[in-house]
Structure 1
Amino acid sequence: MRKNRLPALLLCTLLCLAGCGGQGRQISDAASPPPSGAEITPAEVTETAAQTESYTRSTPISAVMSDPAFGDYGRLIFPANTGYWSGNTLEELHLTWYSHVDPDKTVEIVNYMKARAEAGETIFYDIYTEEEKAADPAKRDTGLFFFRGEPGAKFAVCNAGGGFAYVGAMHDSFPHALELSKKGYNAFALIYRPGAQTACEDLARAISFIFAYAEELQVDTDCYSLWGGSAGGRMAAYLGTYGPAGFGGDDLPRPGAAVIQYTGHSEYSRNDPPTYSCVGESDGIASWRVMEQRLAQLSALGIDTEFHHYPGLGHGFGLGTGTAAEGWLDDAVTFWEKQMEG
Structure 2
Amino acid sequence: MTENTTVSEIINAPVFGDFGRLLFPVDRTVTGDMTIADISSSNVYVWYSDIKKEKTVEIVNDLKSRAEHGETIFYPIYSEQEIASNPSKKNTGLFFFKGKPGAKFAVMNAGGGFMYVGAMHDSFPHALEVSKKGYNVFALIYRPDDPYTDLARAIAFIYDNAKELEVDPEGYSLWGGSAGARMAAALGNSDSMAAYGRPDIPQAAAVIMQYTGYSTASGKDAPTYACVGTNDGIASWRTMQSRLKKLDSYGIPTEFHAYKGLSHGFGLGTGTVADGWINDAVAFWERQM
Relative to the length of structure 2, the TM-score reads 0.95
Contact 2:7–2:31 (Cα < 8 Å) also in 1: no
Contact 1:201–1:248 (Cα < 8 Å) also in 2: no
Contact 2:6–2:32 (Cα < 8 Å) also in 1: no
Is 2:180 the partner of 1:224? no
Partner of 1:135: 85
2:262 aligned to which of 313, 317, 323: 313
Q: Please state how far the C-alpha of 1:244 moved relative to its aligned partner.
A: 2.1
Partner of 2:245: 296
Q: Please state how far the C-alpha of 1:87 moved relative to its aligned partner.
A: 8.3
Query: How far apart are the structure 2 equivalents of 1:63 and 1:316?
Result: 27
Partner of 1:104: 54
- Can you list the C-alpha shifts for 1:191-239, whole angstroms capped at 9, x where unaligned? 00012xx101000000000010100100001110000000000000100
Partner of 1:272: 221
Q: Please state how far the C-alpha of 1:248 moved relative to its aligned partner.
A: 4.7
Contact 1:144–1:206 (Cα < 8 Å) also in 2: yes
Question: Aligned AA for 2:82?
Answer: E
Give matches, 1:113-128, under 5 Å.
113-128=63-78
Query: How far apart are the structure 1 equivalents of 2:98 and 2:248?
Result: 33
Query: How far apart are the structure 1 equivalents of 2:107 and 2:250?
Result: 25
- Can you list the C-alpha shifts for 1:21-49, whole angstroms capped at 9, x where unaligned? xxxxxxxxxxxxxxxxxxxxxxxxxxxxx
Query: How far apart are the structure 1 equivalents of 2:251 and 2:199?
Result: 27
Q: Please state how far the C-alpha of 1:91 moved relative to its aligned partner.
A: 1.4
- Can you list the C-alpha shifts for 1:76-112, whole angstroms capped at 9, x where unaligned? 0111112489981111222111101111110000000
Partner of 1:64: 10
Q: Please state how far the C-alpha of 1:134 moved relative to its aligned partner.
A: 0.8
- Can you list the C-alpha shifts for 1:287-333, whole angstroms capped at 9, x where unaligned? 01000000000001100000000111000000000111110000000
Contact 1:163–1:231 (Cα < 8 Å) also in 2: yes
Q: 1:87 to 1:161 in 2, by over 3 A?
A: farther
Partner of 1:199: 147
Displaced runs of 4+ in structure 1, greater than 4 A? Answer: 84-87
CA RMSD across the alignment? 1.4
Is 2:193 the partner of 1:247? no
Contact 1:260–1:275 (Cα < 8 Å) also in 2: yes
State the number of aligned residues: 284
Q: Please state how far the C-alpha of 1:250 moved relative to its aligned partner.
A: 5.7
Contact 2:230–2:260 (Cα < 8 Å) also in 1: yes
Runs of 5+ unmatched residues, structure 2: none
Name which of structure 1's ranges 184-193 and 247-256 shifts more when overlaid on structure 2. 247-256
Give matches, 1:1-342, under 5 Å.
55-83=1-29, 88-93=34-39, 94=41, 95-195=45-145, 198-241=146-189, 242-249=191-198, 251-340=200-289
SS in structure 1 of the partner of residue 108 of structure 2: strand
SS in structure 2 of the partner of residue 96 of structure 1: coil
Q: 1:83 to 1:245 in 2, by over 3 A?
A: farther
Q: Which has the higher contact order (CA 8 A, sep 6+)?
A: 1
Name which of structure 1's ranges 87-96 and 216-225 shifts more when overlaid on structure 2. 87-96
Runs of 5+ unmatched residues, structure 1: 1-54
Partner of 1:42: none
Query: How far apart are the structure 2 equivalents of 1:300 and 1:306?
Result: 13
Query: How far apart are the structure 2 equivalents of 1:217 and 1:86?
Result: 32
- Can you list the C-alpha shifts for 1:155-178, whole angstroms capped at 9, x where unaligned? 000000000010000000000010
Query: How far apart are the structure 2 equivalents of 1:285 and 1:96?
Result: 12
Relative to the length of structure 1, the TM-score reads 0.81
Q: Please state how far the C-alpha of 1:253 moved relative to its aligned partner.
A: 1.1
Q: Please state how far the C-alpha of 1:251 moved relative to its aligned partner.
A: 3.5
Query: How far apart are the structure 2 equivalents of 1:320 and 1:328?
Result: 8
Contact 1:96–1:162 (Cα < 8 Å) also in 2: yes
